[in-house]
A and B are shown apart, each in its own frame.
Chain A
Amino acid sequence: MFLQWQRSSSVTVGLLVLVWTPLFHSHVCFSKQRCGVIICRYSTVYDPTEKVSLFIRVIKTCKKMGIKTVAVHSDVDSSAVHVKMADEAVCVGPAPTNKSYLNMDAIMNAIKQTGAQAVHPGYGFLSENKQFAKRLAAEGVSFIGPDTHAIQAMGDKIESKLIAKAAKVNTIPGFDGVVKDAEEAVKIAGEIGYPVMIKASAGGGGKGMRIAWNDEETREGFRFSSQEAASSFGDDRLLIEKFIDNPRHIEIQVLADKHGNALWLNERECSIQRRNQKVVEEAPSTFLDPDTRRAMGEQAVSLAKAVKYSSAGTVEFLVDSKKNFYFLEMNTRLQVEHPITECITGLDLVQQMIRIAMGYKLQHKQSDIPINGWAIESRVYAEDPYKSFGLPSIGRLSQYQEPLDLRNVRVDSGIEEGSDISIYYDPMISKLVTYGKTREEALKKMEEALDNYVIRGVTHNIPLLREIIVHPRFVSGDISTKFLPEVYPDGFKGHMLTAGERRELLATAAALYVAAQLRSQKFLGDLRVSVVPAESRQWELCVELDKGVHMLGVSRSGNNYTVEIDGEKVEVSGEWNLASALLPLTINGKHRTLQCLLRTAAGEITLQYLGTSFKLRVLSKLAASLSKHMPEKVPEDTSSILRSPMPGSVVAVSVKPGDNVAEGQEICVIEAMKMQNSMTAAKAAKVKSVHCKAGDTVGEGDLLVELE
C-alpha cells in the first residue's frame, strides 16, 4: 500500500522477537543454542495498525514454532497488543523515534541482552538500512526478509522495469527511462499510443500519477506529476507507459531461498480497489486458466531469481480482458493479503520466511503447491464508505468484537476494544478472511462474518464490503479495477432494501421495541408498593423509516413476535438479549444476525441489517398521533465555529486556512491547568480562518477557528 508512504506518522511501536530455548517441532530446526528473532518497527512509513497486525502474526507463528519472542518498544507503546503478546519486552527508550526505534545502539543492546538470533525488522527504515544489516551480520544475527539490494532494486519503478524486461517478464509498453520534459513526454506518448500513464518513478498509491488521452493532457499531466512527485517524494523523475484501461489487478506470491531456489504460490485477485487501494481480495482468481497462471508464475519466479531475491515477495501484474498480463511492480514485504494464499496453499508464509532467513532451502517443490478451496479477504477500514468509497473516520473503539466464533474465519488485526483510531494511523481495522471449499461457500461465510463483526465508536466500511460480496457482478467474477465506480457511479449509498427486506427490518424494530418495553416493567425484589404492569398481548405501533411511516400490529407469544405490516405477516423470534451487540434472529424461518446500534427512550432504533445501518423510529400509536403537533426544528449549525471552552493557552494549532479536516480531527490544543485539551472539528470541512496561534492566551468562548 503505497499511499501510506506519504502518511507522516508520529506514532511508533517497536517489536523485537527472539528465540529463547526453541522447542523444535514442525519443519524448522534451529541449533540448540539460544537464537532469536527481533522485530523492530519504525514510524513514518507504514501504518501502525498494519504493523502491529504483522507483528502479532509473526509472534503467533513463532509460538507455533517454539520460538520465543521479544518485543522492542518505546515508553509509550508498552501496552500495545503485540508487546503484551511477546514472551519478553524490552524498552529501548522514550517516545521520540530517534531515541528509541531509530536508536541502533539501544536495539543492538537489546539483541545482545536477550541473546536474540534473528531480527524481523517490520517495514520501513531499519529494514532497508545497510549499516544495520552489517551490524547484525557482524553479530551473527539473521535478518528476516529480503536483502537491501533487492528491496532497493524493486523499489524504483524504472530500475525494476528494466530488470523485469531483462528477465523476460512481460512489461507494459512504454518508455523505460526518465522523461526529461513535457515535449519529450508528448513524443513518447505518441510512440506508445494513447492512453498513457505518467507516473513518478519513486511514487505509488496514486500520488504523482496522471492518465493522459491526448497531447494537451500529456503536457499538463507531466507538469502536475512532476510537481506532485517532487513535493511528495522529493524526487521528480517521471516515466511514461501505456495505460491499460479497465484491467484486473492480479498478483503472484513467490517464495525464494538463499540458494537460488524460488517457487510461485499461485495468484491473488485484487481488482476491487478504491483510489488504488485494495478492498476485497480473493485467491484464486476466477479469471485465470491454468496456462495463464503457470505463465505468470514462471515469470514471477524468474524475476525473483534475477534480483537474487530471498524470502517471501509479491509480483503484481495488470491483466487485460484478453488475459495479456503486464508486470506492474514487485512488493518486497509480506503483504496485507497474504492470508488468503496461506488458506489455499496450506503454507505458513511467516514460517517459511523464518526458515529462509535461517538459511534453509525451500521445503517444497513447485508441484507440491496446491489450490485447495477458496479464500476471500475483506479489508475492514475505519472509513465512511458513503464518502468517495471511504474517507477516514476516527474515534475510540468503544466496543469491538471479531467474529472468531465462526468456523473458517480468520481475523488479523492489531487493535482491540478501547483502541483509538486517530489521524496518525492508517484507518485499517483488520483483515477479515473467510475460507470455503468453493467460492460460494467462502462468500456465504463472509456474509455471516461481516454480520457478526461488532465495531462501535468509529464509522467503518462494512456496509460497502457487505454489498460488494453479494453484488451479482462480483459473484459472477466479472470485475476489474473499475468495479466500484462502474457499479456505483453516483457513489455508494448503502444497501437498497427490497420490499420484503424492508418488512423484515420494520418487523425487527417493532419486536425489539416491544421486548424492551416489556422488560422495563420487570422490577425485582420485594416491593412495598406492588407493580401493576400494563397487560397487553397486542401492540399497535407506528414505525418510521426513511420518511416512510408504517402502521404495524404486533402480537407476542413468548419470544416469538408476529408483526403485521400492510396485510403481510412477518414472524420474528430470538433470545432478545438487550445487552448484546448482536441480535441473532430467525425472521420468517431464515436466520439473520442484525446489530442494534442505538435504542433510545424516545423510540429511536438504529439497526445494522445486511451490513448497512438504518435509522428507525418506533412509537406507540398514541405517541405517533400526538407527534404531528410537534414543531419542526431546523437544527442550529454551530459545527463550523470552534470556540475555546475554557480559559487557557494555545499550545499548538494543527491546521491552517484551506486545510481539509475530518470530523473529530484535532484542530488545536489548549492547555489549562497544565492539562492539554484537544479541540476537534465537529464536522468534515475546509478551514476558513484561524484566529489563534501557539502561545496565545484565550478566554472562554473566544473564537479559535472557523470552518466553511
Chain B
Amino acid sequence: MNARGYSVNHPSVQERIEKKRQAALTGGGQLRIAAQHKRGKLTARERLELLLDPDSFVEYDMFVEHRCSDFGMEADHNKYPGDSVVTGQGRINGRLVYVFSQDFTVFGGSLSGAHAQKICKIMDQAMMVGAPVIGLNDSGGARIQEGVESLAGYADIFLRNVMSSGVVPQISLIMGPCAGGAVYSPALTDFTFMVKDTSYLFITGPDVVKSVTNEDVSQEELGGAKTHTTVSGVAHRAFENDVDALLNLRDFFNFLPLSNKDPAPVTECHDPRDRLVPGLDTVVPFESTKAYDMLDIVHGIVDEREFFEIMPNYAKNIVVGFARMNGRTVGIVGNQPKVASGCLDINSSVKGARFVRFCDAFNIPIITFVDVPGFLPGTAQEYGGIIRHGAKLLYAFAEATVPKITVITRKAYGGAYDVMSSKHLRGDVNYAWPSAEVAVMGAKGAVQIIFRGKENQAEAEAEYVEKFANPFPAAVRGFVDDIIQPSTTRKRICRDLEVLASKKQTNPWKKHANIPL
C-alpha cells in the first residue's frame, strides 16, 4: 500500500487511461473488425478518418460505458470504453462538423442509454455552436438488454433531431442495418444517404413481415438502397461502397452552410460568371411536344457543369439538387420533360417541396427551371391525394423567403405554372425564354372547351397558339420580368444572385406554419 491507498501492483491511473483508450480504439476487438471488413464495411473509426480532414477529429466520451446490469451485462468483458458509438467533432475541408459513427463491432452497434446520451451530447453542442451533424448509422437496433432505457435514448435523439431541424443541417449516412425505431432518426434528418448492398432501412425485417403479412421478401428488396432511392423515396442517394460514400459526403458537405445563421457558402470559382452558353439557344426543340433533357440546361448554366443531384432515381419528372453559381451554393429545381413530360404528380411534388424547404431553411437561393404541362390526371393520383401533396410544393415555394429566380423554358400550364416559383408566389426574378408558353392549358384542350361543338376548331386552335403559345401574355402583365436569350441565362442569374444576396423578407409571426402534410 502506498500513501494514496493503491496497491503497488495495481496499474497507475495513467496506465489505466492508456489501456482504456486502446480498448476504445479497437472497439469490439480484432475478430469483429475482421468480420466487419469481410462484409465489405469499414469500422466506425476508419469511416471517421476518411470523412474528416487528417488529424482533425476530436473525440468526446471515449470513457463512457453502458450502465446495464441485467443478463450478465455488468461483467467486465461486456464493457467497452466508449460503448457502441464514436462521437466528436472534426473538420471537412476545414469546416466544423459534429459526427457520430455507430460501431457495429460492439454489440452490433445497438443503442444503449449511454450510446444515446453520447449522441445527444454532440447534437446539443452542435446546436449551440451552429454546426452540422453527420450520423454514420450502422446499428442492429435497440439494446434489448436495457429495455425502456434504450427506447428513451431513441426518443431523446428524435427530440434533438426535431429541435435541430432547420437550425443546423443534419445528414444521415446509412452504412449497415438500421431497423425498427432507429429508422426515425434518419427520417427526421435533412438528408439520408445509403451504401449499396450493405445498408438496410426498415421498420420490421423480412422475418416479421413474413409472420404478419405472409409476404416473402429479401432484406435488399424490403429496405435496400435501391428500394429506398427508387421506390419509397426514403433515401436521397446511394453510393457504391463505404469509401465512395464518404468521399462523396465530403464533396456534398461543401454545398451546405453550417447553420441557419450562415449564408450559403461561396467557394473559389474558376468558371466565368458572364460565360455565354450557346448550346442553350437550341436545347428546346422546335416541336412543343418533343422531349429534351432538363439536365442539359442545368449543366450548361451552373459552375463547371457540377450538379449534385438529390434523389436522382426517384420521381424523375422533377430534378432537384445543389450546384454553384459564381461559387455560391444554389438549389436547383427543374421539371424534367424527358420523364412523364415533366408533369407534377404526388411523388415529384413531395420531392420538390422537401428540397425547397431545406434551401429556404438554410439560406440557399432557389433557381427554378419550368417546363410543366400540368398536374398528372387520373384516379391513381386523385385517390392518392394529389391535391394535398401538390399543395405541399405550392406551400413550400410560397413560404420561401430566400432569393428565388425562375426561368420558364417552355410550358408553364395551369395551376402548375402558379406552383413553380411564379411571380405570384414572390419570385424575385422571373424570366421567360422565347420558347415559353404560359397558358391555362395546351391549345387543343383549350379550344375544345371554349369552342365546344363549334366548327373551325383548327382555326380556333391556330388563334389560341398565336395568342398564348408565347411569352407575351405573361410578359405584358409583368408576370415575367424579361424575355431573355437562353444563352445569356447564366450571366443574368449570376448578376441577380449578387443583387439578391442582401434580400430580406420575413413571413408573419406564427408559432409554426401548418403545411398540408
Q: Which chain A residues have a beta carbon within 8 Å of chain B's beta carbons? A: 75-76, 78-79, 396-400, 416-419, 519-525, 527-529, 531-534, 536, 577-580, 601-603, 619, 622-623, 626-627, 629-631, 633, 645-646, 672-678
Please name all residues of chain A whose beta carbon is closer than 8 Å to the beta carbon of B258 when the two chains form the complex: 528-529
CB of B279 within 8 A of CB of A417, answer yes
A418-B250 contact given A579-B270, A633-B197, A673-B373, CB 8 Å threshold:
no
Residue B254 interfacial (CB < 8 Å): yes
Q: How far is the CB of A14 from chain B (nearest CB, A)?
A: 15
Give chain B interface residues in 39-72, CB to chain A under 8 Å.
Answer: 40-42, 46, 49-50, 53-56
CB of B95 within 8 A of CB of A523, answer yes
Residue B339 interfacial (CB < 8 Å): yes
CB of B247 within 8 A of CB of A524, answer no
A-B contact pairs, 23 of them (CB 8 A): A398-B296, A398-B305, A399-B305, A418-B282, A524-B266, A525-B265, A528-B259, A531-B95, A532-B94, A536-B54, A578-B304, A601-B247, A626-B42, A629-B41, A629-B242, A630-B40, A631-B241, A646-B339, A646-B340, A673-B373, A675-B341, A677-B338, A677-B341
A-B Cβ contacts below 8 A, count = 171
Residue B262 interfacial (CB < 8 Å): yes
Which one of B134-142, B209-217, B284-292, B507-515 is at the A interface?
B284-292
Q: Is the interface of A mostly helix, strand, loop or mixed?
A: loop
Please name all residues of chain A whose beta carbon is closer than 8 Å to the beta carbon of B41 when the two chains form the complex: 629
Contact-residue size bin, chain B (C-beta under 8 Å from the other chain): 35 or more
Please name all residues of chain B whose beta carbon is closer than 8 Å to the beta carbon of A76 when the two chains form the complex: 286-287
Q: Which chain B residues have a beta carbon within 8 Å of chain A's beta carbons? A: 37, 40-42, 46, 49-50, 53-56, 91, 93-96, 129-131, 196-198, 240-244, 247-248, 250-252, 254, 258-259, 261-263, 265-272, 277-283, 286-287, 289-291, 293, 296, 299-300, 303-305, 316, 327, 337-343, 373-374, 376, 442, 444
A675-B300 contact given A531-B95, A578-B270, CB 8 Å threshold:
no
CB of A396 within 8 A of CB of B341, answer no
Can you name the residue of chain A whose Cβ is closest to the Cβ of B257? A528
A672-B50 contact given A578-B270, A602-B248, A631-B197, CB 8 Å threshold:
no
A532-B56 contact given A577-B270, A629-B40, CB 8 Å threshold:
yes
Can you name the residue of chain A whose Cβ is closest to the Cβ of B308? A601
Please name all residues of chain A whose beta carbon is closer than 8 Å to the beta carbon of B55 when the two chains form the complex: 534
CA distance A231 to B229 in the complex (A): 50
Q: Is the interface of B mostly helix, strand, loop or mixed?
A: loop
Partner of B243, one of A418, A626, A633: A626
CB of B278 within 8 A of CB of A418, answer yes
Q: How far is the CB of B223 from chain A (nearest CB, A)?
A: 18
CB of B248 within 8 A of CB of A601, answer yes
Q: How far is the CB of A654 from chain B (nearest CB, A)?
A: 15
Give 19 new A-B contacts, CB below 8 A, not counting A396-B293, A419-B279: A79-B282, A417-B277, A418-B279, A534-B91, A536-B54, A602-B240, A602-B243, A602-B244, A603-B247, A623-B50, A626-B42, A630-B241, A631-B197, A646-B339, A673-B343, A673-B373, A673-B376, A675-B337, A677-B341
CA distance A630 to B50 in the complex (A): 14
CB of A623 within 8 A of CB of B267, answer no
CB of A520 within 8 A of CB of B40, answer no
Partner of A523, one of B49, B94, B374: B94
Partner of A529, one of B130, B251, B299: B130
Please name all residues of chain B whose beta carbon is closer than 8 Å to the beta carbon of A675 when the two chains form the complex: 289-291, 337, 341-342, 373
CB of B267 within 8 A of CB of A396, answer no
Q: How far is the CB of A111 from chain B (nearest CB, A)?
A: 25
Please name all residues of chain B whose beta carbon is closer than 8 Å to the beta carbon of A673 when the two chains form the complex: 340-341, 343, 373-374, 376
CB of A524 within 8 A of CB of B279, answer no
A525-B263 contact given A579-B270, A675-B341, A676-B289, CB 8 Å threshold:
yes
Can you name the residue of chain B whose Cβ is closest to the Cβ of A531? B94
A676-B290 contact given A533-B94, A631-B197, CB 8 Å threshold:
yes
Partner of B291, one of A75, A418, A525, A676: A676
CA distance A672 to B254 in the complex (A): 39
Please name all residues of chain B whose beta carbon is closer than 8 Å to the beta carbon of A645 when the two chains form the complex: 316, 339-340
CA distance A522 to B327 in the complex (A): 10
CA distance A649 to B225 in the complex (A): 31
Q: How far is the CB of B35 from chain A (nearest CB, A)?
A: 11
CA distance A419 to B279 in the complex (A): 7
Can you name the residue of chain A whose Cβ is closest to the Cβ of B376? A673
Partner of A579, one of B244, B269, B289, B299: B269
CA distance A418 to B41 in the complex (A): 43
Q: How far is the CB of A487 from chain B (nearest CB, A)?
A: 36
Q: How far is the CB of B261 from chain A (nearest CB, A)?
A: 6
CB of B56 within 8 A of CB of A534, answer yes
CB of B243 within 8 A of CB of A630, answer yes
CA distance A676 to B289 in the complex (A): 6
CA distance A396 to B279 in the complex (A): 9
Q: How far is the CB of A164 from chain B (nearest CB, A)?
A: 45
A534-B340 contact given A631-B241, A678-B291, CB 8 Å threshold:
no
Please name all residues of chain B whose beta carbon is closer than 8 Å to the beta carbon of A525 when the two chains form the complex: 263, 265-266
Can you name the residue of chain B whose Cβ is closest to the Cβ of A630? B241
CB of B304 within 8 A of CB of A528, answer no
Please name all residues of chain B whose beta carbon is closer than 8 Å to the beta carbon of A536 when the two chains form the complex: 54
CB of B373 within 8 A of CB of A674, answer yes
CB of B94 within 8 A of CB of A398, answer no
CB of B268 within 8 A of CB of A602, answer no
Partner of B266, one of A417, A523, A534, A577: A523
CB of B130 within 8 A of CB of A524, answer no
Partner of B286, one of A75, A520, A629: A75
Q: How far is the CB of A675 from chain B (nearest CB, A)?
A: 4
Partner of B442, one of A417, A579, A602, A674: A674
CB of B95 within 8 A of CB of A529, answer yes
Please name all residues of chain A whose beta carbon is closer than 8 Å to the beta carbon of B262 when the two chains form the complex: 527-529
CB of A520 within 8 A of CB of B279, answer no
CA distance A396 to B305 in the complex (A): 15
Q: How far is the CB of A611 from chain B (nearest CB, A)?
A: 22
CA distance A625 to B143 in the complex (A): 33
Please name all residues of chain A whose beta carbon is closer than 8 Å to the beta carbon of B131 when the two chains form the complex: 529
CB of A532 within 8 A of CB of B304, answer no
Please name all residues of chain A whose beta carbon is closer than 8 Å to the beta carbon of B341 when the two chains form the complex: 672-675, 677
Q: How far is the CB of A479 from chain B (nearest CB, A)?
A: 37
